[in-house]
Amino acid sequence: MEKIRLTFLGTGDAIPTKKRNHTAILLSYKNENILIDCGEGTQRQFKFAELSPMQLTRILITHWHGDHTLGLLGLLETLIMQNYSKKLSIYGPKGTKRYFSLLSQFLGPYKKLHKLNLQVEEVQGKFFENNEFSLTAWQMSHGVPANAYVFEIPDQRRIDKSKLKELGVASTPELKKLKEGKDVFIDGKKLKAKDLTYIEKGKKVCVVLDTKLNENIGKLARNADLLVSEATFLDKDKKLAEQYNHMTAAQVAKVAKKAKVKKLILTHISQRYEKNLSESLNEAKKIFPNTSLARDFDVVEL
């Protein structure tokens, strides 16, 4: 199976620091390049990472706070100038169409936006599915409409080619039926799907950005291969987390443990902890050992 690659283009919170830009994560799989949030300066982060926004296929917006969306206008201007010609789907929570039309007013006077083939959708639940993967939006709790997103590759039945070879079966389109779990007859011989196929396990990546603790996180993250989550505060500042609709590292770690995720990556750490980031990491690790802290330009493959 081809790998899913995550590039962390920005891992800071509301105020950027020297080392951390505003939030943006690029998820790449085969020909798909999905940008999750687009904080101010994201297109420059693409340059530093030696990636091109011209490869983008979709943009997922978690919510319309500025630290997650102020880079969108500049990014779209660049795509227009570089004659981006693919269809670009932009998905977000309730209110996305209104915010997007406000954004369009900035591009509108130059009559350039029409050059892009954009599709803007407000999404909830499973909103995209093809043979290769699906995208699901889950409602979060952040004082404004907010979504978390799940990218999932389903389990797939594969033909065991070495077994076919052993049996001396020549390749024919009929064999495709085996992938659907159906038995086939070739030259009067019955070939059983259960003997000649195996199940390749799918993969699940969850991205939970700004939100306070809520029960949807445990549900969406169940058995995930990777949970990327905000951990804006430390547990000693739990009251602030509650007040600003964010989570603490310990809260996220507890959810990860309970949901039996395989790996947890923390991001969107408050700049107030910049001098001692290991505190956030250690707080989570005590509860969920397989945790790491994202830095700008980290690349994770799975």
Least Å distance, CB 64 to Zn ion, is 9
Residue 84 or 149: which CB sits closer to Zn ion? 149
Any residues with CB less than 8 A from the CB of 113 and at least 6 apart, and which?
A: 76, 80, 104, 107
Eight-state DSSP code of residue 23:
P
Q: Quote the CA–CA distance of 22 and 89 in Å, as a whole number.
A: 22
| Listed ranges 62-70, 119-127, 184-192, 286-294: which one lies at the site for Zn ion (CB under 5 A) | 62-70
User: Strand pairing of 87-92 and 58-60?
Assistant: parallel
Helix, strand, or coil (residue 202): coil
The answer to whether the beta carbons of residues 207 and 200 sit under 8 Å apart is: no
Residue 122 or 210: which CB sits closer to Zn ion? 210
Footprint of Zn ion on residues 177-236 (CB under 5 A)? 210
Task: Decide if residue 40 touches Zn ion (CB under 5 A).
Answer: no
Task: Decide if residue 246 touches Zn ion (CB under 5 A).
Answer: no
Encoded tokens for 131: 């043979």
Task: Decide if residue 65 touches Zn ion (CB under 5 A).
Answer: yes
Looking at 37, 67, 210, 296, which residue is catalytic? 67
Residue 22 or 285: which CB sits closer to Zn ion? 22
* Residue whose tokens read 């660049």: 78
Helix, strand, or coil (residue 55): helix
Least Å distance, CB 196 to Zn ion, is 50
Residue 268 or 285: which CB sits closer to Zn ion? 268
Establish how many alpha carbons lie within 13 A of residue 6's alpha carbon, considering only the half-sphere containing its beta carbon.
Answer: 23
Least Å distance, CB 280 to Zn ion, is 15
Least Å distance, CB 241 to Zn ion, is 12
The answer to whether the beta carbons of residues 159 and 197 sit under 8 Å apart is: yes
**Cβ density class 8-30: b for 16+ within 10 Å, e for less:** bbbbbbbebeeebbbbbbbbbbe
# chain residues binding Zn ion, by CB under 5 A: 3
| Listed ranges 60-68, 130-138, 257-265, 272-280: which one lies at the site for Zn ion (CB under 5 A) | 60-68
Residue 146 or 284: which CB sits closer to Zn ion? 146
Q: Which helix (H) or strand (E) holds 300?
A: strand 299-301
Residue 67 annotated as catalytic: yes
Q: Which helix (H) or strand (E) holds 37?
A: none
Least Å distance, CB 12 to Zn ion, is 9
Residue 177 or 238: which CB sits closer to Zn ion? 238
User: Strand pairing of 117-122 and 87-92?
Assistant: parallel
User: Strand pairing of 24-29 and 5-10?
Assistant: antiparallel
From the list 249, 256, 198, 196, the residue with the least C-alpha distance to 226 is 256
Of 37, 67, 283, 296, the one binding Zn ion by CB under 5 A: 67
* Residue whose tokens read 């290991």: 278
Least Å distance, CB 105 to Zn ion, is 23
| Listed ranges 61-69, 256-264, 269-277, 282-290: which one lies at the site for Zn ion (CB under 5 A) | 61-69
**Residue-level length of the chain:** 302
State the residues that interact with Zn ion by CB under 5 A. Answer: 65, 67, 210
Hey, which residues are catalytic here? 67
